[in-house]
Amino acid sequence: MKKKNFVTLIMSTVGGLLFALGMCMGLIPEWDALTEGIVVGAVGVVILLAMVFIRRRMDGKPMIVLSGKAVGTAVLGIVGAIILGVGMCMVMVWDMLVWGIVVGIVGIVLLLCLIPVVKGLK
């Protein structure tokens, strides 16, 4: 395994776990840990963002390249993730099973649209 892949693996695992744990701490009312969850989640996000910059540096690429495609891809990913999350909330929190599944599927389809946008069609 190359060093850059190992560093990416470790940082993404730690950052993802911290972010997920922070989200659980903030959103599960029984835990009563909203403030602590926000802090832990923010640390996870910082680690994930640092991982992106470190990986690009190890690849010898410029830090950030802003183009219309990059911004559009990010917006598509964010919108797809939010719609998928709303669908999950509709099912698990608001007891709207059928509509939650429909909204969740729309979010999944939007996230699947990222594959041809990023990789392209051949």
Of 6-10, 16-20, 56-60, give the lowest mean pLDDT range. 56-60
- C-alpha pair distances (Å), 6 with each of 9, 10, 55: 5, 6, 10
What pLDDT is stored for residue 85 in this prediction? 93
For residue 100, the tally of other CB atoms under 10 A from its CB is: 19
| Token code pair at residue 25 | 């701490």
Q: Which helix (H) or strand (E) holds 32?
A: none
Name the pLDDT band for 29 (thresholds 50, 70, 90): confident
Question: Which among 90, 15, 20 is positioned nearest to 46, based on CA atoms?
Answer: 15
75-114 pLDDT tens trace? 999 999 999 999 999 999 899 999 999 999 999 999 999 9
34-79 pLDDT tens trace? 999 999 999 999 999 999 999 999 988 887 778 999 899 999 999 9
Q: Which residue has the tokens 């950052």?
A: 15
With beta carbons less than 8 A apart as the criterion, state whether 91 and 104 touch.
Answer: yes
